[in-house]
Amino acid sequence: MTAEQRTAIVTGAARGIGAALAARLAEEGLNVAAVDLTAQACEETVGSITDAGGTARAYGADVADEGSVAQVVEAVRSELGAPAVLINNAGVLRDSLLFKMSTDDWDTVMDVHLRGHFLMSRAVQGHMRDAGWGRIVNISSTSALGNRGQANYSAAKAGIQGLTKTLAIELGKYGTTVNAIAPGLIETDMTKATAERMKVPYEQFVEKAAEQIPVARTGKPEDIAAAAAFFIREEAGFVSGQVLYVAGGPRA
């Protein structure tokens, strides 16, 4: 970061990729607003950051709710400073084959992922425009390319890529870049849930997955955080509208 300390919002920051993103942004010198459904859920994330000498606060918000989003962005602005960086990471799984997928399961995944990315991005873009500088990083997935049992998740993650490219076009002239990261298999609680859905022991699930990955390992949350750290830096200002597959090998 520059000498001016900037503020970042990370959604879904209670655990996994979100917690790693929050920690890495704090290491990069930003004030971090760790957002999840409840502030209490982010206490461990915030505690780890402050113990390491960083600045962070926990906030509760439902990213799919317009009023909740407006309230949390205003709270962050008044307590930590106007958001200059947004990492849209909040997400849920409701996996099922199409013929068994309920409308509620479809709507929940679309709302949290795609609607949530839209609402959060819209809420912060004014602050970035006023400052003449901003960074938005959206978390997509390799599932955007299609994945059995994830019609809802795949559609949402593909939509996030389209949203990313459109926002990059609209916000670029205001000094704001918008990029997306598409993780492959990352070892998180959501990955464990996928293994459970498939009725495969988690260790076996990870081992078999690693055999199909060119770098011969599965990903860690820190791998995604490292990619995000690049996108938010000053020298990445000419990189916008891109989707970076962090999956241990080439993807379409």
Residue 181 host element (H or E): strand 176-183
Q: Which two tokens stand for residue 150?
A: 């994830």
Q: Which domain holds residue 193?
A: 186-218
153 labelled catalytic = yes
- % of the chain residues with pLDDT over 70: 98
SS3 content of the chain, % helix, strand, coil (to 5): 50, 15, 30
Count of structural domains, the chain: 2
pTM, to two decimals: 0.95
Question: Do 11 and 124 share a domain, yes or no?
Answer: yes
Question: Do 237 and 195 share a domain, yes or no?
Answer: no
* Higher pLDDT pick, 205 / 7: 7
Helix (H, G, I), strand (E, B) or coil at 58: strand
Catalytic hit among 153, 174, 202, 245 = 153
Question: Do 109 and 55 share a domain, yes or no?
Answer: yes
Among the residue ranges 113-127, 168-182, 195-209, the one predicted with the least confidence is 195-209
Burial class (CB within 10 angstroms; exposed 0-12, middle 13-18, buried 19+) of 199: exposed
Question: Do 166 and 194 share a domain, yes or no?
Answer: no
The identity of residue 146, as a single letter, is G
pLDDT digits (tens, 9 = 90+) for 226-250: 999 999 999 999 999 999 999 999 8
Question: Do 93 and 202 share a domain, yes or no?
Answer: no
Predicted local distance difference test score (pLDDT) of residue 4: 63
Q: What angle do CA 233, 239, 245 make, to 5 degrees?
A: 95
Average pLDDT over residues 43-64: 98
* Higher pLDDT pick, 2 / 23: 23
Question: Do 201 and 100 share a domain, yes or no?
Answer: no
For residue 123, give the CATH number of its domain: 3.40.50.720
Q: Which two tokens stand for residue 198?
A: 């498939």
